[in-house]
Structure 1
Amino acid sequence: MLAIDAAAYRSPWRRVHPAAKGVFFGGLLVCALALPTWPAAPLVAVVALAAAFGPARVSPRAFARAAWVPLLFIFTGSLALLVTVGGPHGAVAFDPAGPAQAAEVTGRAAAAVCCQLLFAFTTPLADLLPRLTRIGLPSALVEVVALIYRMLFVTLDSARRIQTGQAGRLGYVDRRAWIRSVGSLGAALFVRSYDRAQRMQRGLECRGYTGELTVLIDDLNLRPAAVAAAAAPPLLVAAATLGYTFLGAGP
Protein backbone atom coordinates (compact mmCIF):
# COMPACT_ATOMS: atom_id res chain seq x y z
CA MET A 1 0.00 0.00 0.00
CA LEU A 2 1.23 3.49 -0.81
CA ALA A 3 2.23 5.73 2.08
CA ILE A 4 -0.55 8.23 1.33
CA ASP A 5 -3.20 5.49 1.32
CA ALA A 6 -1.90 4.00 4.56
CA ALA A 7 -1.96 7.43 6.21
CA ALA A 8 -5.49 8.08 4.92
CA TYR A 9 -6.79 4.83 6.43
CA ARG A 10 -5.16 5.68 9.78
CA SER A 11 -6.31 9.30 9.78
CA PRO A 12 -8.76 10.35 12.52
CA TRP A 13 -10.56 12.34 9.83
CA ARG A 14 -11.45 9.20 7.92
CA ARG A 15 -14.81 9.11 9.72
CA VAL A 16 -15.53 12.64 8.50
CA HIS A 17 -17.73 12.70 5.42
CA PRO A 18 -15.69 13.31 2.22
CA ALA A 19 -18.04 16.14 1.28
CA ALA A 20 -17.11 18.09 4.42
CA LYS A 21 -13.40 17.58 3.73
CA GLY A 22 -14.01 18.55 0.12
CA VAL A 23 -15.61 21.81 1.24
CA PHE A 24 -12.65 22.53 3.52
CA PHE A 25 -9.73 21.66 1.26
CA GLY A 26 -11.62 22.54 -1.93
CA GLY A 27 -12.49 25.95 -0.56
CA LEU A 28 -8.87 26.57 0.35
CA LEU A 29 -7.85 25.43 -3.13
CA VAL A 30 -10.25 27.93 -4.72
CA CYS A 31 -8.83 30.66 -2.48
CA ALA A 32 -5.29 29.81 -3.56
CA LEU A 33 -6.20 29.92 -7.26
CA ALA A 34 -8.76 32.73 -7.43
CA LEU A 35 -7.69 35.30 -4.84
CA PRO A 36 -4.64 37.59 -5.03
CA THR A 37 -1.54 35.51 -4.39
CA TRP A 38 -0.36 37.66 -1.51
CA PRO A 39 -1.47 37.04 1.15
CA ALA A 40 -3.90 34.31 -0.01
CA ALA A 41 -1.28 31.65 -0.82
CA PRO A 42 0.58 31.86 2.53
CA LEU A 43 -2.70 31.97 4.46
CA VAL A 44 -4.02 28.91 2.62
CA ALA A 45 -0.81 26.99 3.25
CA VAL A 46 -0.75 27.91 6.95
CA VAL A 47 -4.42 26.99 7.52
CA ALA A 48 -4.14 23.71 5.60
CA LEU A 49 -0.91 22.63 7.31
CA ALA A 50 -2.21 23.65 10.76
CA ALA A 51 -5.31 21.51 10.26
CA ALA A 52 -3.28 18.61 8.87
CA PHE A 53 -0.56 18.51 11.51
CA GLY A 54 -3.04 19.35 14.27
CA PRO A 55 -6.45 17.65 14.40
CA ALA A 56 -5.88 15.49 11.29
CA ARG A 57 -2.55 14.22 12.70
CA VAL A 58 -0.79 13.89 9.35
CA SER A 59 2.83 12.90 9.79
CA PRO A 60 5.09 15.82 8.76
CA ARG A 61 7.70 13.34 7.54
CA ALA A 62 5.20 11.48 5.34
CA PHE A 63 3.88 14.78 3.99
CA ALA A 64 7.40 15.98 3.19
CA ARG A 65 8.15 12.75 1.32
CA ALA A 66 5.00 13.13 -0.78
CA ALA A 67 5.35 16.87 -1.39
CA TRP A 68 9.00 17.36 -2.28
CA VAL A 69 8.71 16.06 -5.85
CA PRO A 70 5.78 18.28 -6.97
CA LEU A 71 7.23 21.26 -5.07
CA LEU A 72 10.60 20.75 -6.76
CA PHE A 73 8.84 20.55 -10.14
CA ILE A 74 7.02 23.82 -9.39
CA PHE A 75 10.24 25.54 -8.36
CA THR A 76 12.24 24.42 -11.39
CA GLY A 77 9.37 25.25 -13.74
CA SER A 78 9.09 28.77 -12.35
CA LEU A 79 12.74 29.46 -13.17
CA ALA A 80 11.80 29.76 -16.83
CA LEU A 81 9.81 32.89 -15.96
CA LEU A 82 12.99 34.69 -14.93
CA VAL A 83 14.22 35.02 -18.51
CA THR A 84 12.81 36.27 -21.77
CA VAL A 85 13.63 35.25 -25.32
CA GLY A 86 13.47 37.94 -27.97
CA GLY A 87 15.31 40.76 -29.55
CA PRO A 88 16.78 40.93 -33.00
CA HIS A 89 18.98 37.89 -32.49
CA GLY A 90 16.66 35.87 -30.26
CA ALA A 91 18.92 36.42 -27.27
CA VAL A 92 18.03 35.15 -23.82
CA ALA A 93 17.92 37.95 -21.26
CA PHE A 94 16.80 38.50 -17.69
CA ASP A 95 13.18 39.63 -17.42
CA PRO A 96 12.72 42.39 -14.81
CA ALA A 97 9.14 41.24 -14.21
CA GLY A 98 10.20 37.60 -13.98
CA PRO A 99 10.83 37.33 -10.22
CA ALA A 100 7.35 38.65 -9.38
CA GLN A 101 5.71 36.28 -11.85
CA ALA A 102 7.78 33.32 -10.64
CA ALA A 103 6.92 34.08 -7.02
CA GLU A 104 3.22 34.33 -7.86
CA VAL A 105 3.15 31.05 -9.78
CA THR A 106 5.18 29.27 -7.10
CA GLY A 107 2.98 30.56 -4.29
CA ARG A 108 -0.29 29.60 -5.95
CA ALA A 109 0.92 26.19 -7.09
CA ALA A 110 2.56 25.29 -3.77
CA ALA A 111 -0.58 26.22 -1.80
CA ALA A 112 -2.75 24.23 -4.23
CA VAL A 113 -0.47 21.18 -3.93
CA CYS A 114 -0.72 21.34 -0.14
CA CYS A 115 -4.52 21.32 -0.29
CA GLN A 116 -4.67 18.38 -2.70
CA LEU A 117 -2.10 16.30 -0.83
CA LEU A 118 -3.75 16.87 2.52
CA PHE A 119 -7.13 15.84 1.13
CA ALA A 120 -5.48 12.64 -0.10
CA PHE A 121 -3.82 12.10 3.29
CA THR A 122 -7.19 12.22 5.07
CA THR A 123 -9.54 10.58 2.54
CA PRO A 124 -9.06 7.03 1.22
CA LEU A 125 -9.93 6.77 -2.44
CA ALA A 126 -12.14 3.78 -1.68
CA ASP A 127 -14.35 6.05 0.44
CA LEU A 128 -14.49 8.78 -2.18
CA LEU A 129 -15.04 6.98 -5.49
CA PRO A 130 -18.41 5.31 -4.76
CA ARG A 131 -19.85 8.67 -3.73
CA LEU A 132 -18.83 10.43 -6.93
CA THR A 133 -21.72 8.92 -8.86
CA ARG A 134 -24.11 10.71 -6.53
CA ILE A 135 -22.93 14.09 -7.78
CA GLY A 136 -23.45 13.23 -11.45
CA LEU A 137 -20.21 11.58 -12.59
CA PRO A 138 -20.79 8.66 -15.01
CA SER A 139 -20.61 5.34 -13.20
CA ALA A 140 -18.49 3.84 -16.00
CA LEU A 141 -15.82 6.50 -15.49
CA VAL A 142 -15.80 5.98 -11.71
CA GLU A 143 -15.52 2.21 -12.13
CA VAL A 144 -12.59 2.51 -14.53
CA VAL A 145 -10.77 4.74 -12.04
CA ALA A 146 -11.53 2.29 -9.21
CA LEU A 147 -10.26 -0.70 -11.20
CA ILE A 148 -7.07 1.12 -12.19
CA TYR A 149 -6.56 2.13 -8.57
CA ARG A 150 -6.92 -1.45 -7.35
CA MET A 151 -4.75 -2.92 -10.10
CA LEU A 152 -2.02 -0.37 -9.36
CA PHE A 153 -1.13 -2.13 -6.12
CA VAL A 154 -1.07 -5.54 -7.80
CA THR A 155 1.21 -4.17 -10.52
CA LEU A 156 3.55 -2.57 -7.99
CA ASP A 157 3.74 -5.84 -6.06
CA SER A 158 4.51 -7.76 -9.26
CA ALA A 159 7.23 -5.24 -10.17
CA ARG A 160 8.76 -5.60 -6.72
CA ARG A 161 8.81 -9.39 -6.96
CA ILE A 162 10.32 -9.39 -10.45
CA GLN A 163 12.95 -6.85 -9.46
CA THR A 164 13.89 -8.90 -6.40
CA GLY A 165 14.32 -12.00 -8.57
CA GLN A 166 16.42 -10.09 -11.09
CA ALA A 167 18.62 -8.64 -8.35
CA GLY A 168 19.16 -12.13 -6.94
CA ARG A 169 20.46 -13.18 -10.36
CA LEU A 170 22.84 -10.19 -10.59
CA GLY A 171 20.53 -8.42 -13.00
CA TYR A 172 21.67 -4.99 -11.83
CA VAL A 173 25.38 -5.66 -11.40
CA ASP A 174 26.44 -3.17 -14.10
CA ARG A 175 24.95 -0.61 -16.48
CA ARG A 176 24.37 -3.03 -19.33
CA ALA A 177 22.69 -5.57 -17.05
CA TRP A 178 20.61 -2.77 -15.49
CA ILE A 179 19.28 -1.66 -18.89
CA ARG A 180 18.51 -5.24 -19.91
CA SER A 181 16.75 -5.98 -16.62
CA VAL A 182 14.65 -2.81 -16.73
CA GLY A 183 13.53 -3.64 -20.28
CA SER A 184 12.62 -7.18 -19.26
CA LEU A 185 10.79 -5.85 -16.22
CA GLY A 186 8.67 -3.49 -18.33
CA ALA A 187 7.84 -6.20 -20.86
CA ALA A 188 6.86 -8.69 -18.14
CA LEU A 189 4.68 -6.13 -16.40
CA PHE A 190 2.86 -5.29 -19.64
CA VAL A 191 2.14 -8.93 -20.42
CA ARG A 192 1.01 -9.72 -16.89
CA SER A 193 -1.19 -6.61 -16.64
CA TYR A 194 -2.85 -7.35 -19.98
CA ASP A 195 -3.50 -10.97 -19.01
CA ARG A 196 -4.82 -9.92 -15.59
CA ALA A 197 -7.19 -7.41 -17.21
CA GLN A 198 -8.55 -10.08 -19.54
CA ARG A 199 -9.11 -12.50 -16.66
CA MET A 200 -10.84 -9.77 -14.67
CA GLN A 201 -13.16 -9.02 -17.58
CA ARG A 202 -14.08 -12.70 -17.97
CA GLY A 203 -14.66 -12.98 -14.24
CA LEU A 204 -17.03 -10.01 -14.26
CA GLU A 205 -18.94 -11.40 -17.24
CA CYS A 206 -19.31 -14.79 -15.55
CA ARG A 207 -20.72 -13.09 -12.46
CA GLY A 208 -23.40 -11.30 -14.46
CA TYR A 209 -21.83 -7.87 -14.77
CA THR A 210 -24.54 -5.43 -15.83
CA GLY A 211 -22.49 -2.29 -16.24
CA GLU A 212 -22.25 -1.23 -12.62
CA LEU A 213 -20.14 -2.48 -9.73
CA THR A 214 -22.06 -2.49 -6.47
CA VAL A 215 -19.87 -1.97 -3.42
CA LEU A 216 -20.57 -1.49 0.27
CA ILE A 217 -20.11 2.10 1.43
CA ASP A 218 -19.53 3.08 5.03
CA ASP A 219 -22.46 5.04 6.40
CA LEU A 220 -21.09 8.50 7.23
CA ASN A 221 -23.51 11.18 8.36
CA LEU A 222 -23.18 14.52 6.60
CA ARG A 223 -24.29 17.07 9.19
CA PRO A 224 -24.94 20.69 8.22
CA ALA A 225 -22.89 21.82 11.23
CA ALA A 226 -19.86 19.92 9.90
CA VAL A 227 -20.22 21.52 6.46
CA ALA A 228 -20.54 24.98 8.02
CA ALA A 229 -17.46 24.39 10.16
CA ALA A 230 -15.53 23.19 7.09
CA ALA A 231 -16.56 26.26 5.09
CA ALA A 232 -15.57 28.72 7.82
CA PRO A 233 -11.75 28.65 7.33
CA PRO A 234 -11.88 29.25 3.54
CA LEU A 235 -14.34 32.08 4.08
CA LEU A 236 -12.09 33.64 6.72
CA VAL A 237 -9.09 33.34 4.39
CA ALA A 238 -11.08 35.01 1.59
CA ALA A 239 -12.25 37.80 3.90
CA ALA A 240 -8.74 38.41 5.24
CA THR A 241 -7.24 38.47 1.74
CA LEU A 242 -9.85 40.81 0.30
CA GLY A 243 -9.66 43.07 3.32
CA TYR A 244 -5.87 43.25 3.08
CA THR A 245 -6.09 43.93 -0.66
CA PHE A 246 -8.63 46.72 -0.34
CA LEU A 247 -6.84 48.34 2.60
CA GLY A 248 -3.54 48.15 0.76
CA ALA A 249 -5.08 49.74 -2.33
CA GLY A 250 -6.66 52.52 -0.30
CA PRO A 251 -5.24 56.03 0.10
Structure 2
Amino acid sequence: MLPTGSAVSVFALDVAAHTGPWRTRHPAEKALLALGLLVCAVALPTWPGAFLSGGAAAVLLAAARVPLVVVLRAARVPLLFVATSTVPLLVSMSAPARLAIDPVGLSVAAQTAGRSVAALTCLLLFSATTPLSDVLPRLHRLGIPPAVTEIAALTYRMLFLLVESVRAVRQAQAARLGFRTWRTTYRSLAGQAGAVFVRALRRARRLEEGLAVRGYTGSLAVQVEAHRVSVPFVAATTVLLATIVTVTTGPGSPW
Protein backbone atom coordinates (compact mmCIF):
# COMPACT_ATOMS: atom_id res chain seq x y z
CA MET A 1 0.00 0.00 0.00
CA LEU A 2 1.15 3.53 -0.71
CA PRO A 3 1.91 5.62 2.36
CA THR A 4 -0.14 8.76 2.75
CA GLY A 5 2.92 11.01 3.04
CA SER A 6 4.36 9.77 -0.26
CA ALA A 7 1.01 10.27 -1.97
CA VAL A 8 0.77 13.85 -0.71
CA SER A 9 4.31 14.55 -1.93
CA VAL A 10 3.56 13.17 -5.39
CA PHE A 11 0.42 15.28 -5.70
CA ALA A 12 2.13 18.40 -4.37
CA LEU A 13 5.07 18.13 -6.78
CA ASP A 14 2.75 17.55 -9.72
CA VAL A 15 0.60 20.56 -8.79
CA ALA A 16 3.68 22.76 -8.32
CA ALA A 17 5.07 21.70 -11.71
CA HIS A 18 1.79 22.45 -13.52
CA THR A 19 1.03 25.76 -11.81
CA GLY A 20 4.50 27.28 -11.44
CA PRO A 21 5.81 30.17 -13.54
CA TRP A 22 8.34 27.86 -15.24
CA ARG A 23 5.53 25.75 -16.68
CA THR A 24 5.86 27.44 -20.09
CA ARG A 25 9.61 26.90 -20.36
CA HIS A 26 10.95 24.17 -22.60
CA PRO A 27 11.79 20.99 -20.66
CA ALA A 28 15.23 20.91 -22.28
CA GLU A 29 16.11 24.22 -20.62
CA LYS A 30 15.17 22.95 -17.18
CA ALA A 31 16.90 19.62 -17.82
CA LEU A 32 20.11 21.41 -18.78
CA LEU A 33 19.94 23.50 -15.62
CA ALA A 34 18.92 20.84 -13.08
CA LEU A 35 20.94 17.96 -14.52
CA GLY A 36 23.94 20.20 -15.06
CA LEU A 37 23.84 21.19 -11.40
CA LEU A 38 23.39 17.52 -10.50
CA VAL A 39 26.54 16.57 -12.42
CA CYS A 40 28.45 19.34 -10.66
CA ALA A 41 27.17 18.17 -7.26
CA VAL A 42 28.26 14.59 -7.94
CA ALA A 43 31.49 15.09 -9.89
CA LEU A 44 33.03 18.12 -8.17
CA PRO A 45 34.51 18.12 -4.65
CA THR A 46 31.93 18.39 -1.91
CA TRP A 47 33.36 21.72 -0.79
CA PRO A 48 32.66 23.99 -2.45
CA GLY A 49 31.35 22.22 -5.60
CA ALA A 50 28.40 20.33 -4.12
CA PHE A 51 27.67 23.21 -1.74
CA LEU A 52 27.48 25.73 -4.59
CA SER A 53 25.39 23.39 -6.77
CA GLY A 54 22.91 22.62 -4.00
CA GLY A 55 22.74 26.27 -2.95
CA ALA A 56 22.10 27.38 -6.52
CA ALA A 57 19.34 24.77 -6.89
CA ALA A 58 17.73 25.92 -3.64
CA VAL A 59 17.79 29.56 -4.76
CA LEU A 60 16.31 28.60 -8.13
CA LEU A 61 13.54 26.65 -6.41
CA ALA A 62 12.62 29.85 -4.58
CA ALA A 63 12.88 31.82 -7.83
CA ALA A 64 10.50 29.31 -9.47
CA ARG A 65 8.04 29.98 -6.60
CA VAL A 66 7.94 26.38 -5.43
CA PRO A 67 6.44 26.43 -1.91
CA LEU A 68 8.91 25.51 0.80
CA VAL A 69 6.43 23.11 2.39
CA VAL A 70 6.23 21.17 -0.90
CA VAL A 71 10.02 20.84 -1.06
CA LEU A 72 10.26 19.72 2.57
CA ARG A 73 7.50 17.14 2.18
CA ALA A 74 9.12 15.69 -0.93
CA ALA A 75 12.58 15.65 0.66
CA ARG A 76 11.80 14.29 4.13
CA VAL A 77 11.93 10.59 3.19
CA PRO A 78 15.19 10.87 1.16
CA LEU A 79 16.71 13.00 3.91
CA LEU A 80 15.81 10.34 6.47
CA PHE A 81 17.53 7.77 4.29
CA VAL A 82 20.61 10.00 4.03
CA ALA A 83 20.70 10.48 7.79
CA THR A 84 20.44 6.77 8.56
CA SER A 85 23.02 5.92 5.90
CA THR A 86 25.67 8.32 7.17
CA VAL A 87 25.45 7.33 10.84
CA PRO A 88 27.49 4.10 10.36
CA LEU A 89 30.28 6.20 8.85
CA LEU A 90 30.74 7.99 12.17
CA VAL A 91 31.78 4.93 14.14
CA SER A 92 34.38 2.21 13.84
CA MET A 93 34.57 -1.21 15.44
CA SER A 94 37.82 -2.46 16.87
CA ALA A 95 38.62 -5.70 18.61
CA PRO A 96 37.22 -6.96 20.82
CA ALA A 97 33.83 -5.75 19.44
CA ARG A 98 34.21 -2.20 20.66
CA LEU A 99 32.45 0.76 19.07
CA ALA A 100 34.21 4.12 18.95
CA ILE A 101 33.84 7.43 17.18
CA ASP A 102 36.00 7.50 14.08
CA PRO A 103 37.66 10.93 13.56
CA VAL A 104 38.07 10.21 9.85
CA GLY A 105 34.47 9.03 9.60
CA LEU A 106 33.14 12.43 10.63
CA SER A 107 34.67 14.04 7.55
CA VAL A 108 33.50 11.22 5.28
CA ALA A 109 29.97 11.36 6.70
CA ALA A 110 29.79 15.14 6.25
CA GLN A 111 30.98 14.90 2.65
CA THR A 112 28.56 12.08 1.85
CA ALA A 113 25.60 13.84 3.43
CA GLY A 114 26.44 17.16 1.81
CA ARG A 115 26.79 15.65 -1.65
CA SER A 116 23.55 13.66 -1.22
CA VAL A 117 21.53 16.67 -0.08
CA ALA A 118 22.90 18.77 -2.95
CA ALA A 119 22.01 16.09 -5.50
CA LEU A 120 18.54 15.74 -4.00
CA THR A 121 17.95 19.50 -4.25
CA CYS A 122 18.96 19.46 -7.92
CA LEU A 123 16.53 16.62 -8.66
CA LEU A 124 13.74 18.45 -6.84
CA LEU A 125 14.43 21.52 -8.98
CA PHE A 126 13.62 19.52 -12.10
CA SER A 127 10.70 17.50 -10.74
CA ALA A 128 9.00 20.51 -9.11
CA THR A 129 9.16 22.65 -12.27
CA THR A 130 8.70 20.12 -15.09
CA PRO A 131 5.52 18.02 -15.45
CA LEU A 132 6.12 14.45 -16.52
CA SER A 133 3.56 14.92 -19.29
CA ASP A 134 5.93 17.43 -20.92
CA VAL A 135 8.96 15.14 -20.71
CA LEU A 136 7.73 11.72 -21.84
CA PRO A 137 6.47 12.65 -25.34
CA ARG A 138 9.76 14.40 -26.11
CA LEU A 139 11.87 11.37 -25.22
CA HIS A 140 11.05 9.85 -28.60
CA ARG A 141 13.49 12.28 -30.19
CA LEU A 142 16.26 10.86 -28.01
CA GLY A 143 15.67 7.36 -29.32
CA ILE A 144 13.56 6.05 -26.43
CA PRO A 145 11.08 3.42 -27.76
CA PRO A 146 7.46 4.67 -27.68
CA ALA A 147 6.38 1.58 -25.74
CA VAL A 148 8.65 2.56 -22.83
CA THR A 149 7.34 6.11 -22.59
CA GLU A 150 3.72 5.02 -22.95
CA ILE A 151 4.03 2.45 -20.18
CA ALA A 152 5.66 5.09 -17.97
CA ALA A 153 2.85 7.56 -18.70
CA LEU A 154 0.14 4.99 -18.00
CA THR A 155 1.87 3.90 -14.79
CA TYR A 156 2.12 7.52 -13.67
CA ARG A 157 -1.56 8.05 -14.40
CA MET A 158 -2.58 4.83 -12.64
CA LEU A 159 -0.57 5.91 -9.60
CA PHE A 160 -2.92 8.81 -8.99
CA LEU A 161 -5.98 6.61 -9.50
CA LEU A 162 -4.54 4.07 -7.07
CA VAL A 163 -3.92 6.72 -4.44
CA GLU A 164 -7.48 8.01 -4.83
CA SER A 165 -8.81 4.46 -4.45
CA VAL A 166 -6.76 3.93 -1.29
CA ARG A 167 -8.02 7.20 0.14
CA ALA A 168 -11.68 6.44 -0.65
CA VAL A 169 -11.55 2.93 0.83
CA ARG A 170 -9.71 4.16 3.92
CA GLN A 171 -12.25 6.92 4.55
CA ALA A 172 -15.11 4.44 4.19
CA GLN A 173 -13.48 2.05 6.65
CA ALA A 174 -12.76 4.83 9.14
CA ALA A 175 -16.41 5.93 8.98
CA ARG A 176 -17.40 2.38 9.93
CA LEU A 177 -14.94 2.34 12.88
CA GLY A 178 -12.65 -0.04 11.06
CA PHE A 179 -9.56 1.22 12.89
CA ARG A 180 -10.99 1.16 16.41
CA THR A 181 -8.80 -1.69 17.70
CA TRP A 182 -5.72 -3.58 16.51
CA ARG A 183 -7.89 -6.50 15.43
CA THR A 184 -10.22 -4.35 13.35
CA THR A 185 -7.23 -2.44 11.95
CA TYR A 186 -5.61 -5.62 10.62
CA ARG A 187 -8.94 -6.73 9.19
CA SER A 188 -9.46 -3.33 7.53
CA LEU A 189 -5.97 -3.29 6.02
CA ALA A 190 -6.55 -6.74 4.53
CA GLY A 191 -9.89 -5.66 3.11
CA GLN A 192 -8.33 -2.44 1.84
CA ALA A 193 -5.65 -4.33 -0.07
CA GLY A 194 -8.24 -6.60 -1.68
CA ALA A 195 -10.58 -3.75 -2.60
CA VAL A 196 -7.81 -1.64 -4.11
CA PHE A 197 -6.50 -4.61 -6.11
CA VAL A 198 -9.96 -5.28 -7.55
CA ARG A 199 -10.43 -1.59 -8.41
CA ALA A 200 -7.03 -1.37 -10.07
CA LEU A 201 -7.69 -4.52 -12.12
CA ARG A 202 -11.08 -3.20 -13.16
CA ARG A 203 -9.67 0.17 -14.21
CA ALA A 204 -6.89 -1.50 -16.20
CA ARG A 205 -9.42 -3.66 -18.01
CA ARG A 206 -11.59 -0.65 -18.83
CA LEU A 207 -8.53 1.19 -20.09
CA GLU A 208 -7.58 -1.73 -22.32
CA GLU A 209 -11.10 -1.95 -23.74
CA GLY A 210 -11.18 1.79 -24.35
CA LEU A 211 -7.91 1.69 -26.28
CA ALA A 212 -9.14 -1.24 -28.35
CA VAL A 213 -12.38 0.57 -29.25
CA ARG A 214 -10.41 3.63 -30.33
CA GLY A 215 -8.26 1.57 -32.69
CA TYR A 216 -5.05 1.35 -30.69
CA THR A 217 -2.23 0.31 -33.05
CA GLY A 218 0.74 0.25 -30.69
CA SER A 219 1.33 3.96 -30.13
CA LEU A 220 -0.62 6.76 -28.51
CA ALA A 221 -0.89 10.02 -30.41
CA VAL A 222 -0.32 12.80 -27.90
CA GLN A 223 -0.41 16.49 -28.71
CA VAL A 224 2.58 18.22 -27.18
CA GLU A 225 2.42 21.91 -26.40
CA ALA A 226 5.08 23.77 -28.34
CA HIS A 227 7.66 25.69 -26.30
CA ARG A 228 10.53 27.70 -27.73
CA VAL A 229 13.96 27.34 -26.22
CA SER A 230 15.03 30.57 -24.54
CA VAL A 231 18.53 31.49 -25.63
CA PRO A 232 19.09 33.87 -22.66
CA PHE A 233 18.04 31.13 -20.23
CA VAL A 234 20.43 28.62 -21.81
CA ALA A 235 23.22 31.20 -21.81
CA ALA A 236 22.63 32.03 -18.14
CA THR A 237 22.62 28.33 -17.29
CA THR A 238 25.91 27.81 -19.11
CA VAL A 239 27.47 30.75 -17.28
CA LEU A 240 26.24 29.44 -13.92
CA LEU A 241 27.62 25.93 -14.49
CA ALA A 242 30.91 27.28 -15.81
CA THR A 243 31.23 29.57 -12.78
CA ILE A 244 30.71 26.68 -10.35
CA VAL A 245 33.30 24.55 -12.15
CA THR A 246 35.79 27.42 -12.34
CA VAL A 247 35.41 28.40 -8.68
CA THR A 248 35.85 24.78 -7.60
CA THR A 249 38.63 23.58 -9.88
CA GLY A 250 40.15 26.75 -11.35
CA PRO A 251 43.88 27.54 -11.12
CA GLY A 252 43.25 30.23 -8.53
CA SER A 253 40.92 28.10 -6.45
CA PRO A 254 42.13 27.46 -2.87
CA TRP A 255 40.34 24.09 -2.80
What code does the residue aligned with 1:67 have? A
Match in the other structure for 2:66 = 58
2:247–2:253 Cα contact (<8 Å) kept? no
In the alignment, the residues of structure 2 paired with residue 191 and residue 93 of structure 1 have an alpha-carbon distance, to the nearest angstrom, of 52
Q: What is the SS of the residue equivalent to 1:41?
A: helix
1:41-80 alignment, distance < 5 Å? 41-54=50-63, 56-80=64-88
The Cα shift of 1:92 comes to: 4.0
1:218-237 alignment, distance < 5 Å? 218-237=225-244
1:23 aligns with 2:47: no
TM-score for the superposition, normalised by structure 1: 0.92
Cα gap change, 1:226 to 1:195, in 2 (>3 Å): same
Q: 1:118 aligns with which of 115, 121, 125?
A: 125
In the alignment, the residues of structure 2 paired with residue 135 and residue 230 of structure 1 have an alpha-carbon distance, to the nearest angstrom, of 21
1:83 aligns with 2:130: no
The Cα shift of 1:91 comes to: 4.5
Deviations 1:108-129, CA, capped at 9 Å, x for gaps: 1100100111211111111111
What code does the residue aligned with 1:29 have? L
1:130–1:142 Cα contact (<8 Å) kept? yes
In the alignment, the residues of structure 2 paired with residue 91 and residue 207 of structure 1 have an alpha-carbon distance, to the nearest angstrom, of 68
In the alignment, the residues of structure 2 paired with residue 97 and residue 179 of structure 1 have an alpha-carbon distance, to the nearest angstrom, of 46
Q: What is the SS of the residue equivalent to 1:84?
A: strand
Q: What is the SS of the residue equivalent to 1:2?
A: helix
The Cα shift of 1:90 comes to: 5.0
1:7-18 alignment, distance < 5 Å? 7-18=16-27
The Cα shift of 1:243 comes to: 2.9
1:209 aligns with 2:209: no
What is the root-mean-square deviation of aligned Cα atoms in Å? 1.8
2:89–2:106 Cα contact (<8 Å) kept? yes
The Cα shift of 1:18 comes to: 0.5
2:60–2:125 Cα contact (<8 Å) kept? no
Q: Which segment is superposed worse, 59-68 or 13-22? A: 59-68
1:21–1:230 Cα contact (<8 Å) kept? no
Deviations 1:121-154, CA, capped at 9 Å, x for gaps: 1111111111111111111111111001111111
1:102-251 alignment, distance < 5 Å? 102-243=109-250, 247-248=253-254
Q: Which segment is superposed worse, 198-207 or 98-107? A: 198-207
Gaps of 5+ in 2: 1-9
Q: How many residues align?
A: 246
TM-score for the superposition, normalised by structure 2: 0.90
In the alignment, the residues of structure 1 paired with residue 100 and residue 217 of structure 2 have an alpha-carbon distance, to the nearest angstrom, of 61
